[in-house]
Amino acid sequence: MITVENLRKTYGDFPAVVGSDFSVESGEVFGIVGPNGAGKTTTLKMLAGLIEPTAGSADVLGFDPEDPAMRRKLGFLPEESPLYEDMTPRSYLRFFADLYDVPRDVADDRTNAVLDRLDLEYRDRRLGDMSKGMKRKVAIARSLVNDPELLIYDEPASGLDPLTTNVVLEFVRELRNDGKTVVFSAHNLFHVESICDRVVIMNRGEIIARGTIPEIRDEHGETAYRVYTTVELPESEREGDRFVSVVETMDEVESLRQAAADAGGTVSDIRTDEASLEDIFLRLARDAPTKSTTEGGRGVS
């Protein structure tokens, strides 16, 4: 579906994207995550054919991203998506369907179905009078008027209230269930963790981790075990009528079990605390080298 090799973009002396390598499989939700300025938007725009790479290559749906034939199979949603505010959602979506030569009846059925799924009720209200969340739903519907194989969404839930955010994220899940491939960027790592099949984590233009969420957690995360005992042990803390000790290995868990038995008690519960994607990212970002030390290098896996 997408193959990226040593993709690079510089603006003067500033490396916005440094030697990225990754692939996206058909029918998956693929996340590109990182803080503002990490290179996410630049990467997505290169995949969408909106800006030209300085070096490297990208194959999107078997095409060069700048090939107009690819763009007819693509739905793109930028982070900032100004709409024609004097239009209504219905007229706006018909306008874009006409640009793709989609028959009017097909376009109306398609956009009505999308707006139903996104819970957008007011379809004949002037866009300029609508909330940001409503406008975002219309922009998402616009990305689907040509029934694309691939969707590239830049921060689809940026700035939305929690309720609208949940609607948008659930819709992304539905798109995957419909067989669409979705590539999207986000800086809210909780959203990514909840819907992505695989991710790459970017920082300062470089890929610093990649894989499924469990793979990234296994490779880069730190697991802790909260061991609850019926008796107090050295360095344990009271929680209600029990005592809890936090350790990092199963050997330490077994040592606590034995210590509890020696003190006339037992282990009543063991809970695993896994690092969140945000915890992992913050540690990787803190430890990652700067661009000046990786100039011309390839992404780190």
Q: Which long-range contacts (CB under 8 A, 24 or more apart) does 69-72 make?
A: 72/100, 72/146, 72/148
Helices (H), the chain: 40-47, 68-71, 89-99, 104-117, 132-142, 162-177, 189-195, 213-220, 250-262, 277-287, 291-294
What are the domain boundaries of the chain? Answer: 2-218+279-294, 224-273
For residue 294, the model assigns a pLDDT of 41
Flag residues of the chain having pLDDT under 70: 288-301
pTM for the whole thing?
0.80
φ, ψ of residue 282 to 5 degrees: the values are -60, -40
For residue 297, the model assigns a pLDDT of 38
* Sheet order of strands, 2-11 included: 14-24, 2-11, 55-60
Fold held by 2-218+279-294:
Rossmann fold (3.40.50)
For residue 194, the model assigns a pLDDT of 80
Distance CA(271)–CA(279), nearest Å, equals 18
Q: Are 107 and 113 in contact (CB under 8 A)?
A: no
For residue 276, the model assigns a pLDDT of 75
For residue 289, the model assigns a pLDDT of 57
